[in-house]
């Protein structure tokens, strides 16, 4: 039995090691040289893999471990490791030299790291994803008579993407779209053509409802610090966007609710008058639920669509950013865009008008 258990443990470490190695190569290589170097080191370090293995079930382990260290380091910026992080150092030390300091920091803060791994969640609030939500929601709404939108975001985190109509946008040129007076500037670019819907007038919003298993309270300094720690060290623009969005006055309009948004939607829809167009969306959260749960949720949307007009914008279920909508019971189903995970670029696929 002992030999069998040892074999299982080795297999677990090998699997986890491979996750860190792939994360370094596929996620970090072109985006965070520091995290790429650290993950390559972690993948070969059994002591660190043992710590990482204690992460809460269902969480992306590399993201959670790196964020936990980033969070703790924000309170210990005199530590040598901080000198490698662009978050804290104006001229960071070479990332390829960072692993020994990282390993020492984790060892010195082992209990705090374990506590974070077991109690915190990876739930970034990528404000730049509004760069594709803006045209996606506008295009979907254009298929219906003009009326207020009832926004429902599943996996909302801090709810900042419920305020997409309060931001201004640019896509590689000087032209500004959206709310031109906004202090929040979301910059992205289109690969190929851009949709004409960008210039359409903004629609009124009747509801801004955010659903999450663990809603981030933006009035809590510690929770905001965790939200910022989830952002990779080199990504200054992502931090700046969150900081700017946290200052938007209409944040007070957000109706934030804790729970499983995929199962809460049916009951929630009953609260919303059909005078508003129900607009449900989620980005990079459906990959955290099972295939059965996804299928069940799509049936929920279909059932709602038989009763009322509804828009559903999502990814991680079908290829690309996708739209499923029901207009007077008739299905509209089409891919909208291929996007970078952080919305640094968008390849628009949809026609300028919905069917």
State both tokens at 295. 């299928």
Which of 212, 239, 213 has its CA nearest to residue 70?
Answer: 239
- Judge whether 276 and 147 are in contact, CB under 8 Å: yes
State both tokens at 130. 């509004």
Q: What would the pLDDT profile of 69-126 be if each residue is shown by its tens digit?
A: 999 999 999 999 999 999 999 999 999 999 999 999 999 999 999 999 999 998 889 9
Q: What is the pLDDT of residue 185?
A: 97
Buried b (16+ CB within 10 A) or exposed e, 315-347: bbbeeebbbbbbbeeeebebebbbbbebbebbe
Q: What is the pLDDT of residue 1?
A: 44
Q: What is the pLDDT of residue 5?
A: 53
- Residue for token digits 């959260």? 285
Its pTM stands at: 0.88
Chunk the chain into consecutive blocks of 10 residues (it has 355) and report each block's average pLDDT, rounded to whole numbers. 53 90 93 97 96 92 97 98 98 98 98 97 92 98 96 96 97 95 96 95 96 93 96 95 92 92 95 97 86 94 97 92 97 95 93 79
Q: What is the pLDDT of residue 9?
A: 63
Which of 35, 106, 96 has its CA nearest to residue 69?
Answer: 106
Q: What would the pLDDT profile of 145-181 be if each residue is shown by its tens digit?
A: 999 999 999 999 999 999 999 999 999 989 999 999 9
- Judge whether 167 and 178 are in contact, CB under 8 Å: yes
């Amino acid at each position: 039995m002992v030999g069998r258990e040892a074999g299982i443990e080795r297999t677990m470490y090998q699997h986890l090691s491979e996750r860190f190695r792939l994360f370094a190569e596929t996620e970090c290589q072109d985006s965070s040289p520091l995290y790429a170097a650290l993950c390559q080191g972690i993948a070969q370090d059994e002591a660190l893999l043992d710590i990482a293995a204690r992460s809460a079930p269902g969480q992306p382990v590399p993201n959670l471990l790196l964020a936990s260290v980033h969070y703790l380091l924000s309170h210990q910026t005199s530590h040598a490791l901080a000198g490698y992080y662009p978050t804290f150092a104006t001229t960071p030390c070479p990332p390829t030299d960072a692993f020994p300091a990282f390993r020492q920091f984790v060892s010195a803060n082992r209990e705090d790291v374990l506590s974070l791994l077991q109690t915190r969640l990876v739930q970034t609030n990528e404000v730049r994803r509004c760069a594709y939500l803006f045209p996606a929601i506008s295009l979907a709404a254009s298929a219906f008579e003009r009326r207020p939108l009832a926004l429902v975001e599943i996996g909302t985190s801090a709810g900042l993407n419920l305020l997409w109509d309060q931001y201004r946008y640019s896509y590689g040129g000087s032209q500004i779209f959206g709310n031109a007076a906004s202090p929040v500037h979301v910059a992205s670019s289109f690969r190929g053509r851009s949709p004409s819907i960008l210039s359409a007038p903004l629609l009124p919003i009747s509801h801004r409802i955010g659903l999450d298993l663990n809603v981030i309270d933006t009035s809590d300094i510690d929770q905001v610090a965790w939200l910022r720690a989830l952002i990779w060290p080199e990504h200054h623009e992502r931090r700046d966007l969150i900081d700017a969005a946290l200052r938007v006055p209409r944040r007070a309009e957000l109706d934030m609710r804790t729970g499983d948004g995929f199962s809460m939607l049916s009951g929630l829809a009953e609260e919303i008058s059909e005078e508003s167009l129900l607009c449900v969306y989620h980005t990079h959260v459906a990959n955290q639920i099972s295939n059965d749960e996804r299928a069940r949720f799509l049936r929920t949307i279909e059932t709602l669509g038989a009763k009322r007009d509804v828009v559903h914008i999502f990814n991680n279920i079908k290829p690309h950013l996708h739209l499923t909508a029901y207009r007077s019971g008739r299905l509209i189903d089409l891919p909208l865009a291929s996007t970078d995970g952080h919305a640094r670029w968008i390849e628009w696929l949809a026609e300028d008008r919905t069917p």
